Amino acid sequence: QGGVGLALCKRLLEEDDELHVCLACRNVGKAEAVRGALLASHPAAEVSVVQVDVCSLQSVLRAAGELKQRFQRLDYVYLNAGIMPNPQLNIKALFSGLFSRKVIHIFSTAEGLLTQEDRVTADGLQEVFETNVFGHFILIRELEPLLCHSDRPSRLIWTSSRNARRSNFHLEDIQHRRGQEPYSSSKYAIDLLSVALNRNFNRRGLYSSVVCPGTMVTNLTCGILPPFLWTLLLPIIWLIRFFANAFTLTPDNGAEALVWLFHQKPESLNPLTKYLSATTGFGSNYVTTQRMDLDEDTAEQLYQNLLELEKQVRVTIQKNK
């Protein structure tokens, strides 16, 4: 409906205006408005809407059922929904970072700058984990019949982050109940899950990739700082962009890696690589890569843990019917 998701839809339709784009959104009213705007500029396209809230497993299951009724296959699924609830800026870390040798790294990744207050959802899961990881995982599981085909591959493209840190993720606490950086933990879990999905599904014609859209000013990030602080920091950010390519700033720039992957043959991609949207100091977009800091055994263990959690959750859903 907004941010990088809307920018991605616009850019994909500019690449091929006869695509069928399905907007999977929580707010149907806003999605219908976006649909109308996309069709107005690309009348040859097909644009449809399905309502889904990945923070509600009942909603995910209902949406998956609806998609299976509408479509015989899905070629690309962009898994872009995400939240960072009540982000708190560590002012001390911000100002100490400004005057350290790691200033570029800290601003590019937000490492150590943000903490979040998580909460438990109606499904009994941590909200960030369910929204950013588990809701998507259940959706993929439900849509396997539309994604796994022998004739040509289907693609999963996850929105991860440069903020995905190994140190913030623990297999014994995959929901990050005991930590203060659930967003970073969830993004690291996405990286692991993508690797595990490739190990388990490539032979069935399904390929997974992860991207980072960079640091953008969107609804997700605007609430982190008061408006006057954004005003003060933007000149610094523009200056840093000459030295750090992570500051894409706009959703259109942030969508660069997501659009680039649309054109790639998945068999040629390294499953251990993260694809990063980047922008030069003069505003030119390009894609760079980063080897993910993970091991495949941990990825497989997370996958098995998610399958086990899925069983438990489905039993609970059945009991509550």
Distance CA 2, CA 251 (A): 9
Q: How far apart are CA 286 and CA 50, in angstroms?
A: 32
CA distances to 47, 137, 247 from 302, rounded to whole Å, are: 35, 12, 31
Q: At what angle do helices 3-15 and 28-41 cross, to 10 degrees?
A: 30
Q: Which of 76, 78, 183, 188 is catalytic?
A: 183
The tokens describing 77, both together, are 């699924």
Judge contact between 153 and 120, C-beta under 8 A: no
Q: What are the two backbone dihedrals, phi and then psi, of residue 76, each rounded to the nearest 5 degrees?
A: -135, 130
Is 183 annotated as catalytic? yes
How wide is the angle at C-alpha 263 spanned by C-alphas 34 and 207, nearest 5°?
A: 95
Q: Give the tokens for residue 130.
A: 């369910």
Phi, psi dihedrals of residue 113, rounded to the nearest 5°: -90, -25
The token pair that represents 267 in the structure block? 């068999």
Catalytic annotation, residues: 183
